[in-house]
Structure 1
Amino acid sequence: MLQRVRSMVITGNGTNCEWEMAHACRLAGSDEVDIVHISELLSGEKRLDDYHFLNLPGGFVDGDDLGSAKANANRLLHVRVRGTEERLYDSLLRFIGEGKLILGVCNGFQLMVKLGLLPGFDGGYGTQTVTLTYNDSGKFEDRWVYLKPDAASPCVFTLGLDGVYLPVRHGEGKLVPGDKAVLKRLHDQNQVVFQYCDESFQEPEMTYPRNPNGSTDAIAGICNETGRLFGLMPHPEAYLHATNHPRWTRETLPEEGQGLQIFRNAVTFIRREF
């Protein structure tokens, strides 16, 4: 059993949810949590190899000027770590090959999709097969949504979760698969982890605003085939305590917010497997 779980939260160039994500990792039991600027990785001051859990938080990296996370994806794909011949993307693939965990939320999810890390069929990372594009509403959506998890999913982050209530904050959250074959495979392999739904948490919901972006088949989050890479548009780090809930003064709620279990599952898995 691993003695110390080390988590990294990447920040820089417009990321703005790093402190909440780091707090979630600490509450979940991670022994060390470092907020690392991407420049520290590119300079070699910090090494991804030294961590077990990589967190890619939400925000407007590079202003989303080339589309959500596209500029950052190109940075990771092509820029080499100072003084080496290795791209940051190479260390990312090594991190995945060692079976470590990656969680991407909102802009972090968009980054994972643009890098081809998700859905990552057959370990074919680097090939983009789905995208996240503009909301059907044509506007930025800031609201809370109901999420139905797939109990058969291999996702290690969602073990024991039934229905989940989390906020979304995005302008480009509509998941669109490259073709029908990609969508079918996502469902066949239970890689659709979360779907937008109604208050009963029973059926996927395609109507606005319960499906806030018009995402295909109401998909809110997907994982890779191992379940160790997970991306979602809603923000689990934004619901860690009852007082984060929009109705906390009007309802009797558990003290712990539902989003925390996603991080706790990750830390528990790492401690058990490494």
Structure 2
Amino acid sequence: MTPRSLDELLTEAEILQDTYDDEDTAASRRRIEYGVADTWWRSALLLESSAQQVKPWLQDGTPRVPAPLCAAQHEQAGRDLRDLSTLVIRDSRAADHIALLARSCRVEPASALIFACLLHLADREGAQFWWQFSAGAGSSTAALCLYLMHLQRGELRDAEHWATQAACLARLENHHTSSSDDWTSLVSRPPRQGNAHWYTPRTMIARTMAILHSGIAADTSVVDNPLNTAEPLCRSLAVAVQRLETKSDADYGTIPRASFELAARLEDCAASSP
């Protein structure tokens, strides 16, 4: 059944001028309210149907017992975003990137990515702006962060958009590193025969986390290097994030700016981490 149009609803609600009274008005209001509620309900059912079609793809297409969309998937996205952000800021060059961002008017994609992850982990506004900047400059990891952020919020259309962007950027990155022999390209290079799941969100997230974790282990000479994602920021670093100055933008709102203090605190926390 096709939802009725507004004109049809108004036609049914029409009351003759010479016969209407309070009871007729109440009845007319009830008919309109019922019609509007019916239209919204059918729209909600269509949205739920679309969400269920997207859901298997967002979960890498693997069969599993269906879970409530508003609980399991959103919570998993939040955990993944926190874990991914924690791995990003543990890079050995993270403090240098933040110092570069504080010093220069030229913003590098890696600097914007690390800064956005710091803001997210400190529950400070502005992470979305810097992730978008980094993704726009070619970072597939930033696009994955945006995918997870929107998925956590239940914004499935935006999540699907950034999943597509992450896949496109990952293809470009693999193309540029296909002739390299370093360990990152070997881990991230797609199989020669191709794989339908290679560029799905779950696969890209798992691969990105594995690459970042391997880099941390290589820098610290520790094979098993567990990360404390429950408390990823030391107190001095969290305080430094909250102290950041901001600037207002008509389109993007309040945007925090990196500082040399933040870079110093990030370096101190990295040096004191086990």
- TM-score in terms of structure 1 length: 0.24
Query: Structure 2-normalised TM-score?
Result: 0.24
Larger Rg: 2
Give the number of the structure whose residues are more often strand, by fraction: 1
Quick check: which one's helix share is greater? 2
